[in-house]
Copies of this chain bind each other. A is one copy, B any other.
Amino acid sequence: MFKGIDHVSIAVENLEEAVALYVERFGACIKHREFIEKDGVEVATVDIGGMCIELVEGKRSDSPIRKFVEKRGPGIHHIAFEVDDIEAALASLEAASIQLIDKKPRAGKEGSLVAFVHPASTQKILYEIVQKNPTAR
């Protein structure tokens, strides 16, 4: 069902400092940057050897990322699996009694469609499902 890991997402305190660490120390390159208004987050995706790490800073006090960092400190927030067909993937997960946070796909970064799976069904790990280029399929 899953094509692989699209990215690992890290909730950070300060996006500029995080980007500097990954680019200057780890040799990553910046692949994408975006402010996502509805979630109140600034996102930078960095590429390390063809694999993506998403660095996310909550910019508003109501941002779930800001709340995560305030409660637990910066840390790995979720893992995103890539799928070809997010509607089919969500149907399969529901058929397997996996609880979904998003029963319908919603808009993600870079024009993708995304949905989150409830950690209650995945032994406490937050997973995101991503379909890139949804218009291209």
Contact = CB atoms under 8 A, between A and B. Distances in A.
Interface of A: 1-5, 8, 10, 12-13, 17-18, 21, 24-27, 48-51, 53, 73-76, 79, 81-82, 93, 96, 98, 122-125
Contact of A48 (B5, B48, B123): B5
A18 to B, nearest CB: 6
Question: Sorted from nearest, which 6 A-B pairs have the closest CB atoms?
Answer: A4-B49, A76-B76, A5-B51, A4-B51, A3-B49, A74-B124
Task: State the copy count for this chain.
Answer: 2
A46 to B, nearest CB: 11
B27 A2 contact: yes
A67 to B, nearest CB: 16
A21 B93 CA distance: 11
A74 B4 contact: no
Contacts of A124: 73-75
A130 to B, nearest CB: 12
A25 B82 CA distance: 15
Given A2-B48, A76-B76, 20 more contacts: A1-B27, A2-B49, A4-B48, A4-B50, A5-B5, A5-B8, A5-B49, A5-B53, A12-B123, A17-B123, A25-B96, A25-B98, A26-B81, A48-B81, A49-B82, A53-B79, A74-B123, A74-B125, A75-B76, A76-B79
